C-alpha cells in the first residue's frame, strides 16, 4: 500500500481529533483498532478462523461509528474508513452530527425519506433512551442518493452505570428497492423464497428480500404518516378493523410499537404503564383485544389468611398499586373503627396485615376511601362518634413512617355519609351526594385538588342536577369525564326509590354540567335499580355495573356493560364463567391495574367474611395459560 496523500492524512486527523480528546487517549488509529477487537469479542464477532464470520472479513466490510452519549443528540466523534467508503461522506462532514442524516436521500431534505421504516427508527430511539442494545436493519442513502440496506447493531458503553458512548457497527449492502414506491416496505420481488433476517454472525447472509408485501393503493400516504399521524389516534377496536382492509394495513397494525401508541393515546400512559408486565408475554395486540371484547373475563376465588379484628361492616377499601387497603368500618354496637389493614397481592401467601400508623383519622363508617396518584389515598366523611364528618385525611402508603395527615381544605361540603367519591386526573378528589345527619338526601358535587399547595374545596355548580341520592357510584372515564349511576334517590315528595339512571359530567368543560345519559337515548333497559353496587371503569372507557342492594329476584352477580361513547349507548349483559360472589358491595370492592376487580367477602348480605377473595379477571394473566 502506497503512502497516504496529504488529504488522506488530514481526513484521518479530523476523524480522530474529537475521539482522542473525548473518548480515550489514543495516539494512533492502530491502537483504536486493537481496542475494537475487544468490542468485537463482546458483540460475538469472533477472530477464530473456524467461525462462520471471519474477523478479517468483518474488519474489511464493517463500518464503525462512535457517538457521544453524554452530549445532546448523540453526535458522532469517530468513523472509520469503511464508513467513508460505503457512504461517500468524509469524516470531517459527519463529525458532530447525529447519524440520522443517512436516512435523508437529499442532503437538503427536512425529513427522512419515506422509504425508511418509521417503526425501526422508533425502536432505535427507544434503545438509545433506555441505554439498551439494538440490532436491526433499515434503509440508508449514500451521499449521491444511492439507497443502501444498513444492517445495524448499536451497543451502549457504560462507565459507573452511566452510558457514555454508543458503538455502532454497520454492514452496508446494496438495496434492491423501488425508489418510485411511496412508502416502506419497499423491497422488490426477486425470488419466491421466504425472507430471512440478516445474521450478524454469517458473512454469507444475503440481502433481506421481502416478497410478501403488497402496497395497497387505498391511500397515497407513507407508512410513517399512516402509523404516527392517523392509526395511532384511533381506538384499539378501530385499528383492529382497519387491519383487515388489506395486506399493507395488516402489516402496519401488527406492529407492537404502533399498538402500544394506540393504547397509550386511547387509555393514557398511566393506565398502559400498568400493563407492561402483561404485554411482555401477551403483547399489546392481545391486551387491547381482550379488554375490547372481554373474551378472557372470568371469575376466580382465593383464600386469604390473617384476620381483620374486631369484625366489622360498612368499611371502605381501595387499591394502591398491587395492595388492597381497608380502613375503618362499623364494629360491634355501631362502634366507629379507625384502623388500617393492607393485603399485598404480590405476596405468595395472601394475608391481611394491620399496619401501624403514627396518627389516624377519627373512627368512622359510611365513608369513602379513594386512590390518588402513586401510593396516596384519601378518606372523606362518614359517620363518627360525634355524628357525621366532612374532613379529609391522606396517607402515603410508601412513606417510611406511615401517618394519616389531615388536609385543611377551605369551604368544605356539609358533613355526610353514604356519599360517593372518585379521583380525577390522579389528584382531584370529587365528592357527590350522600345523606345528612337528619336523613336529608344531597345532590351537590364538590372538588378538591390535593396537588395545590393550599387545597380549597369548590362546588361544581351545574344548572341542572340529578335528584338527591345516596349509595350511588361515581366512575371516571376519558380522564376528565364522570359517570354517576344508581343509588337510593328522591322520587317526588318524600318517596325514595332505588335508581337505575345514569348521568355524565365533563370536568374539562368551562362550566361542567350534569346530563342524563338516557336523554340521548339509551336503547335498551338498564340494570335493575340498585344502591351500594359496584361500578368499574375499563381502560377503553366502558363501564361495568354489578352487585349491590337490588329489589326483587334479580341476581346481584349479573354483570352489565355500558359504553358511554356510543352514539346510542346500549346496556349489554356480560356472561362471565367461574364462581362469582353471591353478594358484592361497592365500598368493599377494589380495581387493580384496570383489569382486576377484587370483591372482599360476598357470602351473605349481613356478615362480612374477609378470609376469601373473589376476582373478576378482565384480561389473561401473564402467568396464566396462553
Average pLDDT over residues 392-396: 96
Asked if 302 and 288 sit in the same domain, the reply is no
Which of 240, 258, 293 terminates a domain? The answer is 293
- Decide if 470 contacts 435 (C-beta within 8 A): yes
Instruction: Point out the least confidently predicted range of 14-28, 61-75, 243-257.
Output: 14-28
Task: List the one residue out of 418, 416, 343 whose CA is nearest residue 585.
Answer: 418
Which of 254, 269, 293 terminates a domain? The answer is 293
Residue 161: which region, alpha, beta or left (left: phi > 0; alpha: psi -120 to 50)? Answer: left
Task: List the one residue out of 255, 568, 535 whose CA is nearest residue 420.
Answer: 535
Give pLDDT, residue 215.
45
Asked if 375 and 477 sit in the same domain, the reply is yes
Give pLDDT, residue 277.
65
Give pLDDT, residue 626.
34
Describe the crossing of helices 6-22 and 29-42 by its angle, rounded to 10 degrees: 60
Q: Pick from 142-146, 210-214, 230-234, 434-438 the range whose average pLDDT is largest.
A: 434-438
- Decide if 525 contacts 533 (C-beta within 8 A): no
How would residue 219 be classed by pLDDT, with cut points 50, 70 and 90?
Answer: low
Instruction: Point out the least confidently predicted range of 2-16, 235-249, 383-397.
Output: 2-16
CB atoms within 10 A of CB 27: 9
Asked if 416 and 505 sit in the same domain, the reply is yes
Give a yes or no: residue 181 inside a domain. Answer: no
Asked if 451 and 514 sit in the same domain, the reply is yes
Q: Which three cell numbers stand for residue 224?
A: 410513517
Which of 149, 174, 199 terminates a domain? The answer is 174
Give pLDDT, residue 356.
93
Does pLDDT of 214 surpass 90? no
- Per-residue burial over 319-345, b if 16 or more Cβ lie within 10 Å, else e, is bbbebbbbbbbbbeeeebbbbbbbbeb
In angstroms, rounded to a whole number, what is the distance separating the alpha carbons of residues 197 and 326? Answer: 53
How would residue 364 be classed by pLDDT, with cut points 50, 70 and 90?
Answer: very high
8 versus 462: the higher-pLDDT residue is 462
Give a yes or no: residue 314 inside a domain. Answer: yes
Helix (H) or strand (E) holding 534: strand 534-537
Asked if 387 and 492 sit in the same domain, the reply is yes
Asked if 345 and 304 sit in the same domain, the reply is yes
- What secondary structure does DSSP assign to 286-335, as a single string? HHHHHHHH-TT-EEEEEE-BS--SS--BS-EEEEETTEEEEEEEE-GGGP
Asked if 452 and 520 sit in the same domain, the reply is yes
Containing structural domain, residue 153? 63-174
Secondary structure of residue 467 in the 3-state scheme: coil
Give pLDDT, residue 189.
37
Task: List the one residue out of 532, 563, 270 whose CA is nearest residue 419.
Answer: 532
Does pLDDT of 211 surpass 70? no
Give pLDDT, residue 112.
78
Place of cell 349491590: 548
Asked if 314 and 387 sit in the same domain, the reply is yes
Give pLDDT, residue 311.
85
- Report the CATH number at residue 130: 3.30.450.20
How would residue 280 be classed by pLDDT, with cut points 50, 70 and 90?
Answer: confident
What are the φ/ψ torsions at residue 35 (nearest 5 degrees)? -70, -30
Give pLDDT, residue 60.
55
Does pLDDT of 554 surpass 80? no
Q: How far is CA 130 from CA 69, 115, 125, 329, 461, in A?
A: 12, 26, 9, 46, 46
- Decide if 193 contacts 212 (C-beta within 8 A): no
pLDDT digits (tens, 9 = 90+) for 556-575: 778 999 988 888 888 999 99
In angstroms, rounded to a whole number, what is the distance separating the alpha carbons of residues 498 and 556? Answer: 14
- Report the CATH number at residue 246: 1.20.1280
Place of cell 389516624: 360
Give pLDDT, residue 625.
41
Angle ∠(59,46,68) on CA atoms, nearest 5? 60
Q: Which three cell numbers stand for residue 169?
A: 457497527
Residues with Cβ < 8 Å from 525, sequence gap 6 or more? Answer: 571
Give a yes or no: residue 210 inside a domain. Answer: no
Q: What's the length of the chain?
A: 626
Average pLDDT over residues 369-377: 90
Give pLDDT, residue 524.
56
Asked if 125 and 102 sit in the same domain, the reply is yes
Give a yes or no: residue 386 inside a domain. Answer: yes
Asked if 262 and 144 sit in the same domain, the reply is no
Give a yes or no: residue 400 inside a domain. Answer: yes
Sign, CA torsion 592/304/350/318: positive
Give a yes or no: residue 445 inside a domain. Answer: yes
Give pLDDT, residue 427.
92
Q: How far is CA 1 from CA 4, 5, 6, 8, 354, in A?
A: 9, 12, 15, 13, 80
Number of independent structural domains in the chain: 3
Task: List the one residue out of 400, 417, 304 whose CA is nearest residue 352.
Answer: 304
Percentage of the chain lying above the pLDDT 70 cut: 79
77-84 long-range CB contacts below 8 Å, 24 or more apart? 77/18, 77/19, 77/22, 77/23, 77/165, 78/15, 78/16, 78/18, 78/19, 78/23, 78/32, 79/15, 80/15, 83/170, 84/11
Asked if 248 and 302 sit in the same domain, the reply is no
- Report the CATH number at residue 532: 2.120.10.80
- What secondary structure does DSSP assign to 550-600, as a single string? ESTT--TT-EEEE-TTSSS---EEE---S---S---GGGEEEETTTEEEEE
Give pLDDT, residue 163.
92
Place of cell 362546588: 459
Give pLDDT, residue 322.
87
Asked if 372 and 266 sit in the same domain, the reply is no
pLDDT digits (tens, 9 = 90+) for 155-172: 999 888 899 999 999 999
Amino acid at each position: 500500500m502506497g503512502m497516504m496523500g496529504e488529504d488522506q492524512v488530514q481526513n484521518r486527523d479530523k476523524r480522530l481529533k474529537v475521539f482522542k480528546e473525548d473518548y480515550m487517549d489514543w495516539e494512533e488509529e492502530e491502537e483504536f483498532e486493537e481496542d475494537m477487537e475487544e468490542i468485537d469479542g463482546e458483540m460475538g464477532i469472533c477472530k477464530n478462523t473456524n467461525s462462520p464470520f471471519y474477523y478479517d472479513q468483518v474488519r474489511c466490510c464493517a463500518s464503525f461509528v462512535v457517538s457521544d452519549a453524554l452530549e445532546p443528540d448523540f453526535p458522532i466523534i469517530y468513523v472509520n474508513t469503511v464508513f467513508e467508503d460505503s457512504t461517500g461522506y468524509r469524516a470531517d462532514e459527519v463529525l458532530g452530527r447525529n447519524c440520522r442524516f443517512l436516512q435523508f436521500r437529499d442532503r437538503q431534505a427536512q425529513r427522512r425519506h419515506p422509504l425508511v421504516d418509521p417503526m425501526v427508527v422508533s425502536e432505535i430511539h427507544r434503545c438509545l433512551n433506555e441505554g439498551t442494545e439494538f440490532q436491526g436493519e433499515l434503509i440508508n442513502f449514500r451521499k449521491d442518493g444511492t439507497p443502501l440496506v444498513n444492517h445495524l447493531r448499536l451497543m451502549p458503553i457504560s462507565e459507573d452505570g452511566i452510558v457514555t458512548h454508543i458503538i455502532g457497527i454497520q454492514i452496508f449492502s446494496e438495496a434492491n428497492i423501488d425508489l418510485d414506491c411511496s412508502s416502506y416496505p419497499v423491497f422488490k420481488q426477486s425470488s419466491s423464497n421466504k425472507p430471512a433476517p440478516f445474521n450478524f454472525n454469517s458473512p454469507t447472509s444475503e440481502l433481506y428480500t421481502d416478497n410478501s408485501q403488497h402496497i395497497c393503493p387505498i391511500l397515497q400516504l407513507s407508512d410513517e404518516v399512516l402509523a404516527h399521524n392517523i392509526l395511532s389516534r384511533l381506538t384499539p377496536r378501530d385499528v383492529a378493523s382497519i387491519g383487515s382492509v388489506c395486506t399493507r394495513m395488516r402489516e402496519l397494525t401488527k406492529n407492537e410499537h404502533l399498538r402500544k401508541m394506540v393504547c397509550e393515546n386511547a387509555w393514557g400512559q398511566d393506565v398502559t404503564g400498568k400493563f407492561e408486565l402483561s404485554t411482555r408475554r401477551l403483547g399489546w395486540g392481545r391486551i387491547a383485544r381482550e379488554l375490547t371484547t372481554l373474551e378472557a373475563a372470568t371469575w376466580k376465588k382465593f383464600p386469604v389468611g390473617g384476620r381483620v379484628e374486631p369484625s366489622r361492616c360498612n368499611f371502605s377499601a381501595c387499591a394502591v398499586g398491587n395492595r388492597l387497603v381497608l380502613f375503618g368500618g362499623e364494629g360491634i354496637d355501631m362502634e366507629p373503627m379507625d384502623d388500617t389493614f393492607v393485603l399485598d397481592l404480590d405476596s405468595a401467601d395472601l394475608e391481611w396485615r394491620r399496619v401501624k400508623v403514627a396518627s389516624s383519622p377519627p373512627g368512622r363508617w359510611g365513608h369513602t376511601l379513594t386512590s390518588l396518584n402513586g401510593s396516596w389515598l384519601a378518606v372523606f366523611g362518614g359517620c363518627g362518634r360525634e355524628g357525621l364528618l366532612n374532613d379529609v385525611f391522606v396517607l402515603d402508603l410508601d412513606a417510611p413512617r406511615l401517618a394519616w395527615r389531615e388536609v385543611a381544605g377551605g369551604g368544605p361540603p356539609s358533613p355526610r355519609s353514604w356519599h360517593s367519591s372518585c379521583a380525577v386526573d390522579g389528584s382531584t378528589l370529587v365528592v357527590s351526594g350522600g345523606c345528612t345527619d337528619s336523613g336529608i338526601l344531597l345532590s351537590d358535587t364538590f372538588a378538591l385538588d390535593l396537588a395545590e399547595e393550599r387545597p380549597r374545596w369548590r362546588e361544581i355548580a351545574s344548572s341542572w342536577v340529578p335528584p338527591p341520592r345516596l349509595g350511588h357510584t361515581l366512575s371516571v372515564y376519558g380522564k376528565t369525564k364522570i359517570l354517576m349511576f344508581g343509588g337510593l334517590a328522591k322520587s317526588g315528595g318524600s318517596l325514595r326509590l332505588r335508581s337505575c339512571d345514569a348521568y355524565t359530567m365533563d370536568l374539562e368543560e368551562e362550566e361542567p354540567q350534569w346530563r342524563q345519559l338516557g336523554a340521548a337515548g339509551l336503547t335498551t333497559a338498564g340494570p335493575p335499580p340498585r344502591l351500594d353496587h359496584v361500578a368499574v371503569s375499563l381502560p377503553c372507557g366502558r363501564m361495568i355495573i354489578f352487585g349491590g342492594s337490588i329489589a326483587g329476584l334479580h341476581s346481584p352477580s349479573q354483570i352489565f356493560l355500558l359504553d358511554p361513547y356510543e352514539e346510542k349507548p346500549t346496556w349489554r349483559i356480560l356472561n362471565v364463567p367461574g364462581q362469582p360472589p353471591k353478594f358484592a358491595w361497592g365500598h368493599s370492592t377494589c380495581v387493580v391495574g384496570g383489569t382486576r376487580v377484587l370483591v372482599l367477602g360476598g357470602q351473605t348480605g349481613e356478615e362480612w367474611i374477609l378470609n376469601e377473595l373473589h376476582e373478576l379477571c378482565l384480561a389473561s394473566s401473564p402467568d396464566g395459560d396462553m
